């Protein structure tokens, strides 16, 4: 087996284990916050601080991996998940909401590192297979769609303290991810590309490129809408008297929608182009909002969140592929860090807004907010600029290969 293929397979497996933690927390996090918070409007605060931890860690994570390499950085991220899980367990055992909130950023730090799996897959692949490598790694999250909710349902009442058993799974998954990452061997061209010299443009010049703006806007709005709906859905379903089993089932198929398209979304990007796939993702998300607005029964939640997951995949894979065309090899780390900072900064804002909007304004206002964000992404996807190509040619990563 070639080193490139072995790396992509390992990154796919670690995507599966790390995403299982994220999926598990998605099912129980808001509900655990609601159970512990005296002010129920703050129920999504732990989820929000987790996303804030991701946003604040994206730049340090990228710069650290530039210095120590992908493998060491990814292992550190996985260990951060284990530490955050242990703090959360202590918080639930002691009934301490603010400790749960304080432990969540460590989980967010791990996500910041894990989000770089897709870029590592692009770097270890030949240029013509880059979009497929990104989508294949994201496909690892498909396993999480089944394992995460299954673990949540099986462990939510494992102890007298509700949700404690679910959070105990997180450190175990973090250690498993670390063990898998020990076998990662990035090819020398991809690792050395970040250390080579050559012309380096100011980051302000890079992020002003139309190609970067289109790419990052697709990811920002896709991730933001996904966070807005996924954070709010468990609380909305509880408010409408649906069972936890129904909520876990809806989250499960939401995550299936997020990662199942990995079988073909990379191929669609190759065949149709990034902008077309971004527009398709926006359309699917708008259909999701329509489904959620029509009724609050379980079938509508299920349809809405599944369509939202598929739409997120199309916007995220296409946007992530497009952004690799915006930089030269020596600009890689800073550009990826800026990209993820903006994407997860948006996710943090929508995560916090979801709980506040839901508590004070209701589910319909959450949906209207999602529509506004999707229209912003649509405007970006329609922006056609003749000078959208990067000076690095087809892609900075391609130049590294």
How many helices and strands in the chain, by DSSP H and E?
A: 18, 0
Residue 390 has a pLDDT of: 43
Residue 392 has a pLDDT of: 45
* pLDDT average, residue stretch 384-395: 44
Give the rounded distance of the alpha carbon of 30 from its chain centre.
Answer: 17
Tokens of 105: 């950023």
- Of the pLDDT bands very low, low, confident and very high (cuts 50, 70, 90), residue 27 is confident
Tell me the C-alpha distance between 312 and 226, whole Å: 7
Reduce the DSSP state of residue 393 to 3 states and report it.
strand
Tell whether domain 3-395 is in CATH 1.20.1250.20. yes
Query: Does position 15 have pLDDT exceeding 60, yes or no?
Result: yes
Nearest to 114 by CA among 146, 83, 87, 141: 141
CB of 172 closer than 8 Å to CB of 310? no
Cβ count near 390 (within 10 Å): 22
Residue 30 or residue 215, greater confidence: 215
Q: Give DSSP secondary structure letters for 228-281.
A: HHHHHHHHHHHHTT--HHHHHHHHHHHHHHHHGGGGTHHHHHHHH-HHHHHHHH
For the chain, the maximum distance between any two Cα atoms, rounded to a whole number of angstroms, is 62
Provide the β-strand partners of residue 390: 393
Provide the β-strand partners of residue 393: 390
Reduce the DSSP state of residue 401 to 3 states and report it.
coil
What is the CB-side half-sphere exposure of residue 205 using CA atoms within 13 A?
Answer: 9
Tell me the C-alpha distance between 53 and 330, whole Å: 26
Residue 7 has a pLDDT of: 86
- Of the pLDDT bands very low, low, confident and very high (cuts 50, 70, 90), residue 191 is very low
Cβ count near 261 (within 10 Å): 26
Residue 383 has a pLDDT of: 72
Query: Does position 24 have pLDDT exceeding 60, yes or no?
Result: yes
- Of the pLDDT bands very low, low, confident and very high (cuts 50, 70, 90), residue 147 is confident
Residue 288 has a pLDDT of: 96
Residue 9 has a pLDDT of: 87
CB of 399 closer than 8 Å to CB of 329? yes
Domain definitions of the chain by residue range: 3-395
* Percentage above 90 pLDDT, the chain: 35
Residue 114 or residue 266, greater confidence: 114
Q: What pLDDT, in 10s, does the model give residues 61-110?
A: 888 888 888 889 999 999 999 999 999 999 999 999 999 999 999 999 99
Write the CB contacts of 109 (distance below 8 Å, at least 6 apart in sequence). 53, 54, 57, 61, 77, 80, 84
CB of 121 closer than 8 Å to CB of 8? yes
Residue 266 gets the label, from left (phi > 0), alpha (psi -120 to 50) or beta, of alpha
Per DSSP, 390 falls in state: B
Tell me the C-alpha distance between 142 and 305, whole Å: 15
- Of the pLDDT bands very low, low, confident and very high (cuts 50, 70, 90), residue 279 is very high
Query: Quick check: pTM over 0.75?
Result: no
Q: What pLDDT, in 10s, does the model give residues 159-181?
A: 888 889 999 999 999 999 999 99
CB of 129 closer than 8 Å to CB of 46? no
Residue 1 has a pLDDT of: 62
Tell me the C-alpha distance between 397 and 324, whole Å: 7
């Amino acid at each position: 087996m070639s080193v490139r293929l072995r790396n992509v397979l390992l990154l796919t497996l670690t995507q599966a284990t790390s995403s299982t933690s994220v999926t598990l927390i998605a099912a129980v996090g808001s509900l655990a916050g609601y159970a512990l918070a005296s002010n129920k409007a703050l129920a999504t605060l732990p989820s929000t601080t987790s996303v804030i931890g991701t946003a604040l860690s994206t730049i340090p994570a990228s710069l650290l991996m530039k210095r120590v390499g992908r493998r060491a950085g990814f292992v550190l991220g996985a260990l951060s998940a284990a530490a955050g899980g242990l703090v959360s367990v202590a918080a639930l055992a002691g009934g301490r909401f603010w400790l749960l909130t304080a432990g969540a950023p460590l989980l967010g730090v791990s996500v910041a590192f894990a989000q770089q799996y897709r870029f590592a897959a692009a770097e270890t692949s030949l240029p013509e297979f880059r979009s497929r490598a990104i989508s294949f790694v994201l496909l690892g999250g498909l396993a999480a769609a089944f394992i995460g909710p299954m673990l949540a349902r099986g462990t939510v009442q494992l102890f007298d303290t509700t949700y404690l058993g679910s959070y105990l799974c997180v450190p175990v998954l973090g250690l498993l991810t670390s063990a898998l990452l020990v076998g990662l061997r990035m090819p020398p061209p991809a690792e050395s590309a970040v250390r080579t010299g050559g012309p380096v443009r100011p980051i302000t010049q890079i992020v002003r490129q139309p190609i970067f703006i289109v790419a990052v806007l697709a990811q920002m709005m896709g991730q933001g809408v996904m966070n807005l709906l996924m954070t709010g859905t468990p609380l909305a379903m509880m408010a409408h008297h649906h069972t936890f089993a129904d909520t876990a089932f809806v989250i499960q198929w939401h995550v299936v929608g997020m990662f199942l398209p990995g079988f073909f979304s990379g191929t669609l990007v190759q065949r149709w182009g990034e902008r077309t796939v971004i527009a398709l993702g926006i359309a699917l998300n708008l259909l999701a909002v329509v489904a959620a607005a029509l009724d609050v029964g379980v079938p509508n939640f299920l349809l809405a969140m599944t369509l939202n997951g598929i739409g997120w995949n199309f916007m995220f894979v296409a946007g992530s592929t497009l952004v690799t065309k915006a930089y030269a090899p020596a600009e890689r780390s800073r550009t990826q860090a800026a990209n993820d900072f903006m994407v997860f900064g948006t996710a943090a804002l929508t995560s916090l807004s979801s709980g506040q909007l839901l508590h004070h304004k209701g589910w319909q206002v959450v949906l209207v907010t999602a529509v506004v964000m999707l229209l912003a992404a649509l405007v970006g996807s329609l922006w056609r600029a003749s000078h959208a190509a990067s000076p690095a040619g087809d892609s900075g990563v391609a130049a590294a290969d």
